[in-house]
Amino acid sequence: MLHRKIEKTIIDWLKKENKALLIDGARQVGKTYIIRKVLEDNHYDYIEFNLIETPEIVGLLTNCETVDDLITNLSLFSKKPFVKSKTVIFFDEIQEFKELTTKIKFWVDEGSFRYIFSGSLLGVELKNIKSAPVGYLKTVTMYPMDFEEFLQIYNFTDELKESLYASFVERKPVNEEVHNRIMKIFNTYLNVGGMPAAVKSFNKTKSLEDVISEHEDIVVQYKKDFTRYEKEDKKPYLTQIYDLIPAELNAQNKRFNFADLKKGLRYERSEDNFVWLSSAGVAIPAYNTSAPTVPLLLNEKSSLFKLFLSDVGMLTSLYGRATKMKLLSNDQNINYGAIYENVVAQELKAHGFKLYYFNSKKTGEVDFVIEYNGKVMPIEVKSGKDYRKHSALINVIDTPNYSIDEAIVLSNYNVSVSGKITYYPIYMLMFIRNNEIKMPKLELDDLSAL
């Protein structure tokens, strides 16, 4: 049985917090499954309600004024008893109940039950739910399986992980045989991706045809959701934008070109569509920053961005069988810039980073820029044999005003170091994590003597 890193977050919530918990994310990332798994593995008594499968519940929830009303109404749809201080109430597809924010405070304050929700971001309704009163709702976003999670199907041991991590930290080459085998598995990950249904199918049958079929089914579901949740005038753009992402990533500068949607179209007239797809979890934006300095947010240009798919396996399926076959060849000299950049965006996003890229006429373009351990970290992504050619990265490092202490190049090749640049094999993405700076406790000045 495959484990997900989010399981620890759910367990910590069950043991330590009194707030309600909301697990959100795109469809098919495994939210419902993982909630059930954690509750069952840890022997929690729970009762589940799906608000799409049982829409009658929504009306009853709207009319609940007290927790007693809630339990009385829910009892009509449950064969199990509600036990105070024991039962966890699990609402699935919570985006169907927009009024949650007016109820959650009273449910949590009353204290008889624990509440866990899951919902798809495919719908603006969930944006309102996430604005529940501070202190009453903990929100965690779930993503497709990252590469480390995918490695479980290959019996990835703690000892091997520790060995690879030591190479990452010490910036020393990995054993060549190990490196080649992990790279081969990484290329498989590019084909399968991290959508649980695709990973489960691949683990069972080893068939990429089955994987492609799973991906096609997910895309069909996404497009149905586009039409279900959004206003009529946005439907064409949502589908068109989603369909354009693979081609836009394959363009020379990879920046999304609005003219490909409609001649003369400006970002301001279509902004809601891009924000919606990003909030839905099906697309990942990387925004242009006008200067690679902390904080990157101050230099963000929201109308200039690259747009990636949320799952690299779905991207390679859209590119077609010929692309998947070439990935299986493990030829290190083949250039797959769009695919590699997509998997980097996907992994960094899942690890908690907000994504940027930097581009200027003077220096050129750097693929990604993130805030890493309190500093700016430029990242170049190289899929071919010319992985040491990166003039833009050199220019950024050599610009004194940017104060860049180190940079990373991700490629097919083993670990090496040259000046401020560390060359990592791309699978070491698993170790680039957002370790937020711990803020110190502050002493309160006593002003009474003044």
Q: What is the pLDDT of residues 342-400, one digit of tens each?
A: 999 999 999 999 999 999 999 999 999 999 999 999 999 998 888 999 999 999 999 99
Q: Phi and psi at residue 371, in whole multiples of 5°?
A: -95, 115
CA dist list (Å): 362 to 291, 392, 396: 12, 9, 10
Q: What is the mean pLDDT of each run of 10 residues along the chain (450 residues)?
A: 92 93 93 97 96 93 90 94 96 87 88 93 61 82 96 96 97 97 96 97 96 96 80 73 92 79 70 83 94 94 92 96 87 78 97 96 95 95 91 96 96 97 98 80 78
Maximum pairwise Cα distance, the chain: 78
Task: Note the pTM of the prediction, 2 decimals.
Answer: 0.92
At residue 234, the pLDDT reads 62
At residue 178, the pLDDT reads 97
Could you report the per-residue pLDDT of 235-266, keeping only the tens digit for each?
A: 668 888 999 999 999 887 788 887 777 776 66
- Domain locations in the chain as residue ranges: 6-141, 147-431
At residue 275, the pLDDT reads 82
Cβ–Cβ under 8 Å, residues 391 and 399 = no
Tokens of 174: 């990995």
10 Å CB burial of residue 246 (0-12, 13-18, 19+) is buried
Cβ–Cβ under 8 Å, residues 278 and 355 = no
At residue 369, the pLDDT reads 98
Q: Phi and psi at residue 448, in whole multiples of 5°?
A: -65, -25
> Rounded to the nearest 10 degrees, how much is the dihedral formed by the CA atoms of 287, 289, 292, 293?
-110
For the domain covering 6-141, report its CATH number: 3.40.50.300
